[in-house]
Amino acid sequence: MTSPSGLPARTDRLIVMGVLNVTPDSFSDGGRYTDLDSAVAHAVQMTAQGADLIDVGGESTRPGAVRVAAEEEGRRVLPVIGELAAAGLAVSVDTYRAAVAEQALAAGARIVNDVSGGLGDPDMARVVRDAGCPWVLMHWRGHSASMAALAQYDDVVADVRAELMTRVDEALAAGVAASQLVLDPGLGFAKRPAHNWALLAHLEAITGLGLPVLIGSSRKSFLGSLLAGSEGQARPTSGREAATTALTMFAALNGAWGVRVHEVGPNVDAALVAAAILAVR
C-alpha cells in the first residue's frame, strides 16, 4: 500500500488510527478522556490493541458543535501529545488551526489530520510544508454549526472528488510535497446518509487519485440511521461498532490506506482478514 512520507508503511494490512478525543463534547466519547492520566492510559491501551497511530483532538467537530479558543484547544492536546510522544507512541493531531498544529508537531506529533483540508486556516500549508510531515486533507465545506445546510451536491462523488483535487492542487502550489498528502472523503461532514453511501460505493473515485485515502466512518450518525430500530430511532453510538468494523473490512478491500476508529481491536482484526484475502487474489 502507498504510505505518506514520514509515517511507517505497513505491508500486512491497512493503517488503523485510534481516536483520542480530549474534549467534553465529542459525539461518541466526549468527557471520557479529559484528564491527562485517562487520556494516556486509553492511548496506551489502543496501541496495545494494534493502533498504528493515535489521533489526538481537542475540539469537537460533531454537527452543531461550538468552536473553542485556540488556547483552550492547545491546553487540551499538547500535554497529552507530549506524554505519548515521549513514550514512543506515534501521534497525529486532529486540528485545523495552524498554530495548534505547529505546537503539536513541536511536542512530538508526526502528522496533521486537518478536517478542513486546509480551508480552515490559510497558514496550515506553511506549517506542514516546513515540518515535512504528512497532512490529511479532508473534504470540508464549512464549520460544524453550518455544515448541514451545505450538504447540496449535483453528483456527490464527482463533486467531492473535484473539491479534493482542488485542495491537493493548492497544497502543491504552496510547496507541500505530494508524498506528504493523505485524502479523506469526509464522511458525515456536510453529507447526508445517501451521500456517505454513494462515496463508499464509489470509493475508487477517490483512491484513483493516486494518494493514500483515510476513511473515518466510526460510530457516525449514518450508521445509526441504517441500524435504526422498528420505531425509527437511530441506534446509539455504543451499538454501531459492528457496522464500523464491517466498513473497515470494506475500506481495506477497496484500496484505502487507513481507517480512523474508536474501538481499535476489532478493526485491526478486520484489517488483517482483508489483507489475507487480498494476499491470495
pLDDT tens, residue by residue, 75-97:
999 999 999 999 999 999 999 99
| Residue predicted with more confidence, 7 or 170 | 170
Active-site residue among 97, 110, 219, 260?
A: 260
- The angle formed by the CA atoms of residues 126, 18 and 250, to the nearest 5 degrees, is 100
Q: Which residues are CB-neighbours of 6 under 8 A, at least 6 positions away?
A: 110, 111, 132, 133, 134, 180
Strand partners, 135: 112, 181
The residue type at 117? G
Query: How confident is the model at residue 31, as a pLDDT?
Result: 54
| Residue predicted with more confidence, 276 or 66 | 276
Q: What is the DSSP annotation of 167-217?
A: HHHHHHHTT--GGGEEEE--TTSS--HHHHHHHHHTTHHHHTTSS-BEE--
pLDDT digit string, tens, across residues 214-268: 999 999 999 999 999 888 899 999 999 999 999 999 999 999 999 999 999 999 9
Banded pLDDT at 65 (limits 50, 70, 90):
low
* Poorest-pLDDT segment among 1-5, 45-49, 210-214, 256-260: 1-5
Query: How confident is the model at residue 204, as a pLDDT?
Result: 98
Strand ranges across the sheet with 53-57: 181-184, 135-138, 111-114, 91-94, 53-57, 15-21, 258-261, 214-215
C-alpha cell at 7: 509515517
Give me the mean pLDDT over the 3-26 stretch.
Answer: 80
Active-site residue among 97, 110, 219, 220?
A: 220
Shortest CA distance to 163 belongs to which of 218, 193, 205? Answer: 205
* Poorest-pLDDT segment among 2-6, 126-130, 196-200, 214-218: 2-6
Task: Based on the residue annotation, tell me whether 220 is a catalytic residue of this protein.
Answer: yes
Task: Based on the residue annotation, tell me whether 260 is a catalytic residue of this protein.
Answer: yes
Banded pLDDT at 58 (limits 50, 70, 90):
very high
pLDDT digit string, tens, across residues 22-43: 987 544 554 566 789 999 999 9
